């Protein structure tokens, strides 16, 4: 009996010696796995930060493009208004040129008229002077002779009135010529003033035309600058889209690595053994967008829609499509609040756009098929309340419909 007891004790000691190294080895492997997971999580955080920064920069560039397009439209409207003013000033210049030509022609006519008047005045003045000289030299005797030849007093008076009329008429003619000369000179002065005013107006309009044309050139330079900035922004947007997509691919790869390590750490079973997955919504829903290429509702570009969209009211419960381990439970870029479950065998499912506070599981948590894991929302890049559901096989998105019951 004593020998039997010693033999049993020896077996226990031997077993202990065997188990302790095994446990020590397991703990060591667990530490290595956890260290690798931490490293991968740091890389994921960095990739997520880069993706978020790229998307924020892209949004800012898109917003700047919208602002530039608005400025461009406004500037084009200003150019059109300037061109209309330029056309109007050109028309005014043509009209002013016509009036200048017309006034110059009137001045030419007035000048000719003035020259004729001056000649008539000179001639009349010469006649009057000659008559006056005749009057003072021998005109007095001549007029006296005319008066003395009167045959009666009545004839004398008649002859006297005639002589006086001749002298007065000479003076009146000279006065009328002088008055007409003054009138012509006045008209000439008025036309000269009008011509000067028209030429000044013409110069002002030429200056205004030059000013408008300079402004129009400046606006055209601004349009060219806006177009150049828009082209640069569009090129930069493409680059940041590539950065964002590359970061997203990296996140998926890192998530897979973390999933594998979590599987080792938690002794993950191969939960998915084939067959259909459960539909993640039990309440009524509407499929608003299926898997495949489509025009993105926000970015307006053709892109692969990597899952299906199931529209449902905010707060509708979301259920695990299959048993597995939660590898992501956080806000994740354009997916918003997001859950990823690794089902083993390279199969993963993704549940996106959950409402704020709508993630009901934690990373590393083991869930069963049909467990309530989240609530429908519209966080991230979304246009309405819905669940975006993806199935990924070995990291690549596949059509979820064949997998669903």
Q: By three-state DSSP, how is residue 312 classified?
A: coil
Bigger pLDDT: 62 vs 143? 62
Final residue before a domain boundary, out of 231, 265, 299: 265
Considering the domain boundaries, does residue 333 fall inside one?
yes
Spatial separation of the C-alpha atoms in residues 365 and 67, rounded to whole Å: 46
What integer pLDDT is reported at residue 283 of this predicted model?
A: 87
Window from 6-20, 171-185, 223-237, 290-304 with minimum mean pLDDT: 6-20
The verdict on 326 and 254 lying in the same domain is: no
Considering the domain boundaries, does residue 14 fall inside one?
no
The verdict on 261 and 168 lying in the same domain is: yes
What integer pLDDT is reported at residue 237 of this predicted model?
A: 87
pTM score, two decimals? Answer: 0.46
The verdict on 237 and 331 lying in the same domain is: no
Task: Dump pLDDT digits (tens) for 125-169.
Answer: 776 666 656 555 544 445 566 666 767 777 777 767 776 777 676
Final residue before a domain boundary, out of 236, 265, 294: 265
The verdict on 39 and 123 lying in the same domain is: yes
Final residue before a domain boundary, out of 265, 290, 322: 265
Residue 7, CA distances (Å) to 3, 18, 19, 20 in order: 6, 17, 18, 20
Considering the domain boundaries, does residue 135 fall inside one?
yes
Most confident stretch, 185-199, 202-216, 360-374: 360-374
Q: How many domains does the chain have?
A: 2
pLDDT tier at 311, thresholds 50, 70, 90:
very high
The rounded mean pLDDT for the chain is 80
The verdict on 109 and 65 lying in the same domain is: yes
Q: Which residues contact 100 (CB under 8 A, 6 or more apart)?
A: 195, 198, 199, 202
Residue 344, CA distances (Å) to 202, 348, 368 in order: 88, 7, 13
Q: Does pLDDT of 269 surpass 50?
A: no
Spatial separation of the C-alpha atoms in residues 101 and 104, rounded to whole Å: 5
Considering the domain boundaries, does residue 9 fall inside one?
no
CATH of the domain at 132: 1.10.287
Considering the domain boundaries, does residue 313 fall inside one?
yes
Find the domain containing 180 and state its range.
Answer: 31-265
pLDDT tier at 317, thresholds 50, 70, 90:
very high
pLDDT tier at 1, thresholds 50, 70, 90:
very low
Window from 27-31, 105-109, 282-286, 298-302 with minimum mean pLDDT: 27-31
């Amino acid at each position: 009996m004593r020998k039997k007891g010693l033999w049993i004790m020896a077996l226990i000691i031997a077993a202990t010696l065997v188990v302790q190294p095994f446990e020590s080895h397991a703990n060591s492997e667990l530490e290595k796995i956890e260290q690798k997971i931490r490293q991968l999580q740091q890389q994921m955080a960095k990739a997520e930060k880069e993706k978020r920064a790229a998307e924020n920069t892209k949004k800012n560039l898109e917003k700047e493009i919208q602002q530039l397009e608005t400025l461009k439209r406004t500037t084009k409207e200003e150019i059109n208004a300037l061109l209309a003013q330029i056309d109007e000033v050109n028309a005014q210049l043509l009209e002013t040129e016509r009036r200048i030509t017309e006034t110059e022609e009137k001045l030419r006519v007035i000048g000719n008229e003035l020259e004729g008047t001056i000649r008539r005045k000179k001639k009349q003045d010469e006649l009057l002077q000659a008559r006056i000289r005749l009057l003072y030299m021998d005109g007095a005797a001549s007029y006296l002779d005319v008066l003395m030849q009167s045959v009666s007093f009545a004839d004398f008076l008649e002859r006297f009135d005639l002589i006086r009329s001749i002298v007065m008429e000479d003076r009146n003619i000279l006065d009328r010529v002088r008055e007409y000369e003054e009138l012509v000179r006045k008209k000439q002065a008025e036309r000269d003033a009008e011509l000067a005013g028209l030429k000044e107006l013409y110069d002002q309009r030429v200056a205004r035309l030059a000013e408008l044309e300079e402004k129009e050139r400046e606006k055209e330079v601004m349009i060219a600058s806006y177009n150049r900035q828009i082209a640069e922004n569009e090129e930069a947007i493409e680059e940041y889209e590539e950065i964002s997509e590359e970061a997203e691919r990296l996140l998926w790869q890192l998530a897979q690595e973390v999933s594998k390590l979590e599987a080792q750490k938690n002794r993950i079973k191969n939960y998915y053994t084939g067959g259909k997955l459960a539909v993640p919504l039990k309440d009524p829903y509407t499929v608003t967008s299926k898997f495949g290429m489509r025009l993105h509702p926000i970015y307006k570009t053709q892109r692969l829609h990597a899952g299906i969209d199931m529209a449902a009211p905010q707060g509708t419960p979301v259920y695990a499509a299959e048993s597995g381990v939660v590898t992501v439970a956080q806000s994740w870029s354009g997916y918003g609040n997001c859950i990823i479950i690794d089902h083993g065998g390279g199969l993963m499912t993704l549940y996106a756009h959950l409402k704020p506070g709508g993630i009901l599981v934690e990373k590393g948590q083991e869930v069963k098929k049909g467990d309530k894991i989240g609530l429908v929302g519209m966080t991230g890049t979304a246009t309405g309340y819905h669940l975006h559901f993806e199935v990924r096989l070995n990291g690549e998105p596949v059509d979820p419909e064949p997998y669903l019951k």
